Structure 1
Amino acid sequence: MARLLALASLLGCSQALFAVNTVDIPLNGSKAILRPDAYGYSVEPSSMAPFLQTNLASVLMGHIANIIGTPAPIRVGGNIADQTLFVPDLDTPSLALPNDTTVEVLQIQKDWFRGWTEYFPRGTDFIYTLNLRNTSQLWTNAMQEAAAAMDVLGDSLALFELGNEIDHYINKGWRTATWGTKEYTHQWKQLTHQILTAGFYRNSTHKPRFQAAVFADPPWVPDQHDEIDDFDIINVTRAGLVDPQIIAAYSVHLYPQSTCDEVRRARLSLNLLSDHEVIWRNLSQYVPQQAAAEAAHAPLVLGETNSASCSGQSGISDTFGAALWSTDYVLAAASLGIEQVLFHLGHTSAYSAFTPAPYESEGEELEAGIRANFYSHVFLAHVLGARNNRPQQISALAAANASDFSGYAIYGEGPRSGLEKLVFVDLGVWNSSVGLHNPSTLSATDSTSVSPGRRPHRKVQARTTWQPGTEVKILKLQGPGTNAKSGVSVSGVSFSPETGEMVGREEKEKVVVQHGGIVELELLQAEAILAQRV
């Protein structure tokens, strides 16, 4: 059980308050798969060309691939997927109309897909969302997209999706009121049959599979439902959307907050985002959905997510608090059996982890750069990367489960099976007076809130099965405070916002396992720590 001890002053010197948590690591408990590609990105189709115009994302994704040993997956999809038209004789690879910041239609031709495999690290898996909105002439548009993507991307094209957030089609005027799981399943099977039997698919040496569902509305949050419908994984699998041979995953989308309207915008809160109990509650609503997907012999994934829908909110989405949120979010999702989390990116979106080029927003000229939340991926890359690429499993720790504190045990398989890593995240809010500005974010949202006194810290005593004397390597996700937009690092390592190149050297830190398998760790309020057996 956790014990909270408050220390006053010692020999007249003021000391920060600290918490002491004793955490027992269970020998046996519920474990879930922790995939090396558990953290990836979803890129709005109209943002692919702007991202590829600079090297920033390419270099950053290279760092992630080097740490994990496998690249992060890239889904090219989003609202614009169902507004994408294939124009074979277009005189440019893509054309966003009226422009690339206010896109109503994205016209593409085959050359649009070129360069993706060279830009992203070798071995990157792409998920591509076909236009399901346009049903004319037996899905001609979707078929042209599929043929071009397969021809250009080859082995890199892992999965197709059919449509984006199809449970919003009635509200958008793209389907009639009869649109539900039965009609969707019929259309999904019709289009997949056409793809599977087409010459371009049958004659290909690499045959991508499908990521089904792609639903937006969370089961337990009624005010995020755009329409009344029956779309969820339970109902759609009951309607017959089950085919383990071609369905590799079922996808749902989740945004815990929203900027899409003034009512929800008024509720936006960085403190609410960086709260483990809220994270757990948001993800727990998908437990029945995950069970339905598993019964259909495919995993459930969060195929599109981020801190707040409709492009996020500067001052929340681009802070260190968002980095701590996404760290806890990915691990909590994995522990519940949600195997992959893809964070949505736009080239001018407040929630994007990095932005490729300067742009204007709300009267300010923003620079290209890296936001604080990218460092969550860097930190988690060390968690996801396994010794000798062996499979890993994850378990949430019951003794580290509070609003401001969470913990996870990572287990390996093979000759050295057993506990390999521990992750603890302190989500307590600590607002700093430094690191508040980042030239790639709005200066108008730079925080003016400062927490009083000295920054608290937490001591964790983890009772493990590790032998006394075993060395344990320590890595930390660090930032000046929850409200910081800059000054973030992973144990002293940061990245140039101009080039993406690594800056600084990793600060080496180790502890030794004590008698009884005790590992003593210390972390500041608003910080995450990884302890890995050497």
Structure 2
Amino acid sequence: MTSILQLLPLCALALASAVSIVDIPANSPKRVLRPDLYGYSIEPSSLAPYLQSDIASNALGEIAKIAGVPAPIRVGGNIADQTIYDKDLKVPSEAFPNDSTVDVLRIQKDWFKGWKEYFPTGTDFIYTLNLRNETTAWVNAMLEAQAAIRTLGDSLTLLELGNEIDHYINKGWRNASWGTHEYTQQWRRLTGQILSSGFYKNATHKPLFQAAVFADPPLVPDQHDEIDDFDIVNVTRAGLVNPRIIETYAVHLYPQSTCDEVRRARLSLNLLSDHSVVWKNISQFIPQVTAAEKAGSRLVLGETNSASCSGQSGISDTFGAALWATDYVLTAASIGLDQVYFHLGHQSEYSAFTPLPYEYEGEELEAGVRAHFLSHLFLAHVVAGNSGKGLKISPLAAANASDLSGYAIYKGGRKSSLEKLVFVDLGVWNSTTGLHNPSTLSATDSESSSPGNRPQRTLQVNTPWAEGTPVEILRLQGPGTNAKSGVTVSGVGVDVHTGRIEGEKVAETGIVGQRGVVSCGISQAEAVLIQKA
């Protein structure tokens, strides 16, 4: 077997341009890298449309095969607090006034049926109960909990109480006294009713709870809907601490927004394609992670995506969004936010899958898979083989710039060994190909292109691997940052109409050079996974 440089013409070309030398620190702090780090949050009113199509089922089935575990699914969102349990309803669910504009979602127990059959075997579900009305002894929430526990069984791992409860004053659902202390009292009251109920006590499997579910990030003022004290530091100080039943706390984050014209005007694909922006957004949660861990629980990004209020086509549905999501998830994992749930609506511009055709802004959009789903396919390979003592992640300080990020992946316990390396080039490179996807708005197909040849750089990584160690390289590739199609993981893509894998994997192979040096080329707007073969 010859060296990587001899095997990979891209690397040889890159030597003529920039060279990035990357050292691997001997004793860097490491965080758990879960095999189910990438999950999805589905708006309750969108669940029925998703179950009418095989697209998401097929795509997530492929993920489970590679990662070794299915992606976790949270059924929650704004409509969770507008969901009414109606045992006399003649159909499983009914949205009023319609599926596109929902004021009230009525459900009965049959609504929970089919979830386990649709999603891959072993999928863990989180379900959000309606916390909006506290004046009726939580009758509605109790009926929801009973139906979910009895129908979903051991697939229901966690219950949430309310969605984005730090927006309740602004929505008119609580008065000005609403804060961490009052919320903690109500949370304890409802969880106490659930825990003491016959349906919970008699359940073979008893789900635990995901607490907090806060929307407003600590340090982004224009993402705040109201003045309050809701964050993990404050809520744990207020006494919402019970590791016996609180598995996780959840926060939500949307780095951009389409919710009003001021923020919509600032939307930019270039802001997604910037690791320094990703780090600024994620690192604000470091004190929140610490507070959750001190309370004996974990912190997760329970709902997120590229831009709030359903995203923006031409930004949210591009290859650039796939590179952003890759870097975003790994950055989150590196600080201890070990699971990230990307929000889905069945007609949302940021959704990775659109289950059914629909008319939008004068266009007929097809059902399908969008380019940014390929980030999940790539990360499934990153976490593959995550068994035994599991994998851990550490960011690489030598690969930390606006246009480049890097991560070391380790296996084992105290004497962990380097197993994989991930690098994400976030430099913007716009192409004239792959600009259309039939499930996205053609009006947002890009007309921008970057001049000249696509830039490349050589990564020269000083690893502890022995000379001659065989390695494999996989690449998350697309025609350009602005592409909506043609995205692959080393030649493997997803059929945009069915969600099934297509193409043949073309993995590059080579060996570690002298003194443990691994040299590999990376194009602008590309991610690479280097792993021991």
Q: TM-score range by the shorter chain?
A: over 0.9
Conserved in 2, the CA contact under 8 Å of 1:390 and 1:414? yes
- Mapping of residues 500-515 of structure 1, within 5 Å: 500-515=499-514
* CA distance in structure 1 between the aligned counterparts of 2:54 and 2:346, rounded to whole angstroms: 13
> Could you give the per-residue CA deviations for residues 389-448 of structure 1, whole angstroms, max 9, x where no partner exists?
541100000000000000000000169940000000000000000011111000111111
Partner of 2:204: 205
Partner of 1:275: 274
Partner of 2:431: 432
Partner of 1:403: 402
Partner of 1:394: 393
Amino acid at match of 1:267: R
* CA distance in structure 1 between the aligned counterparts of 2:150 and 2:253, rounded to whole angstroms: 32
* CA distance in structure 2 between the aligned counterparts of 1:346 and 1:309, rounded to whole angstroms: 12
1:137: Cα distance to partner?
Answer: 2.0
Partner of 1:11: none
> Could you give the per-residue CA deviations for residues 271-320 of structure 1, whole angstroms, max 9, x where no partner exists?
01110000000001111111110100111100000000000000000000
> Could you give the per-residue CA deviations for residues 35-58 of structure 1, whole angstroms, max 9, x where no partner exists?
111100000000000000011111
Amino acid at match of 2:492: V
Matched, 1:460 2:459: yes
Partner of 1:10: none
* CA distance in structure 1 between the aligned counterparts of 2:428 and 2:242, rounded to whole angstroms: 45
- Mapping of residues 235-254 of structure 1, within 5 Å: 235-254=234-253
Amino acid at match of 1:503: E
Any gaps of 5 or more consecutive residues in structure 1? 1-13
Residues 1:17 and 1:87: Cα distance change in structure 2 (over 3 Å):
farther
> Could you give the per-residue CA deviations for residues 459-506 of structure 1, whole angstroms, max 9, x where no partner exists?
101100101000111100000000000000110001112222211110
* CA distance in structure 1 between the aligned counterparts of 2:467 and 2:363, rounded to whole angstroms: 56
- Mapping of residues 344-493 of structure 1, within 5 Å: 344-386=343-385, 388=387, 390-413=389-412, 417-493=416-492
Residues 1:239 and 1:415: Cα distance change in structure 2 (over 3 Å):
closer
Percent of residue pairs bearing the same amino acid type: 69
Partner of 2:31: 32
Conserved in 1, the CA contact under 8 Å of 2:435 and 2:445? yes
Amino acid at match of 1:222: P
Secondary structure, counterpart of 1:210 in structure 2: strand
1:508: Cα distance to partner?
Answer: 2.3
Partner of 2:4: none
Secondary structure, counterpart of 1:66 in structure 2: helix
Secondary structure, counterpart of 1:419 in structure 2: strand
- Mapping of residues 168-187 of structure 1, within 5 Å: 168-187=167-186
Partner of 2:134: 135
1:263: Cα distance to partner?
Answer: 0.2
Partner of 1:5: none
Secondary structure, counterpart of 2:110 in structure 1: helix
Conserved in 1, the CA contact under 8 Å of 2:14 and 2:457? no
* CA distance in structure 2 between the aligned counterparts of 1:460 and 1:510, rounded to whole angstroms: 16
* TM-score normalised by length of structure 2: 0.96
* CA distance in structure 2 between the aligned counterparts of 1:87 and 1:253, rounded to whole angstroms: 29
- Mapping of residues 42-121 of structure 1, within 5 Å: 42-121=41-120
Conserved in 1, the CA contact under 8 Å of 2:160 and 2:213? yes
Any gaps of 5 or more consecutive residues in structure 2? 1-12
Partner of 2:289: 290
Query: Which moved further from structure 2: 176-185 or 132-141?
Result: 132-141
Conserved in 2, the CA contact under 8 Å of 1:511 and 1:519? no
* CA distance in structure 2 between the aligned counterparts of 1:272 and 1:141, rounded to whole angstroms: 42
Relative contact order higher in (CA < 8 Å, ≥ 6 apart): 2
Secondary structure, counterpart of 1:401 in structure 2: strand
* CA distance in structure 1 between the aligned counterparts of 2:120 and 2:26, rounded to whole angstroms: 38
> Could you give the per-residue CA deviations for residues 322-357 of structure 1, whole angstroms, max 9, x where no partner exists?
000000000000001111100000010000011111
* CA distance in structure 2 between the aligned counterparts of 1:286 and 1:527, rounded to whole angstroms: 27
Partner of 1:521: 520
Partner of 1:3: none
Conserved in 1, the CA contact under 8 Å of 2:14 and 2:521? no
Conserved in 1, the CA contact under 8 Å of 2:35 and 2:386? no
Amino acid at match of 1:55: D
* CA distance in structure 2 between the aligned counterparts of 1:68 and 1:171, rounded to whole angstroms: 41
Secondary structure, counterpart of 2:458 in structure 1: strand
* CA distance in structure 2 between the aligned counterparts of 1:510 and 1:156, rounded to whole angstroms: 39
Amino acid at match of 2:104: V
* CA distance in structure 2 between the aligned counterparts of 1:382 and 1:508, rounded to whole angstroms: 12
> Could you give the per-residue CA deviations for residues 226-285 of structure 1, whole angstroms, max 9, x where no partner exists?
000000000000000000000000100000000000000000000011100000000011
1:72: Cα distance to partner?
Answer: 0.4
* CA distance in structure 2 between the aligned counterparts of 1:217 and 1:23, rounded to whole angstroms: 36
Matched, 1:335 2:331: no
CA RMSD of aligned residues (A): 1.3
* CA distance in structure 1 between the aligned counterparts of 2:53 and 2:173, rounded to whole angstroms: 35
Secondary structure, counterpart of 1:21 in structure 2: strand
Secondary structure, counterpart of 1:327 in structure 2: helix
Conserved in 2, the CA contact under 8 Å of 1:16 and 1:454? no
* CA distance in structure 1 between the aligned counterparts of 2:277 and 2:55, rounded to whole angstroms: 33
Conserved in 2, the CA contact under 8 Å of 1:15 and 1:454? no
Partner of 2:6: none
Conserved in 1, the CA contact under 8 Å of 2:180 and 2:229? yes
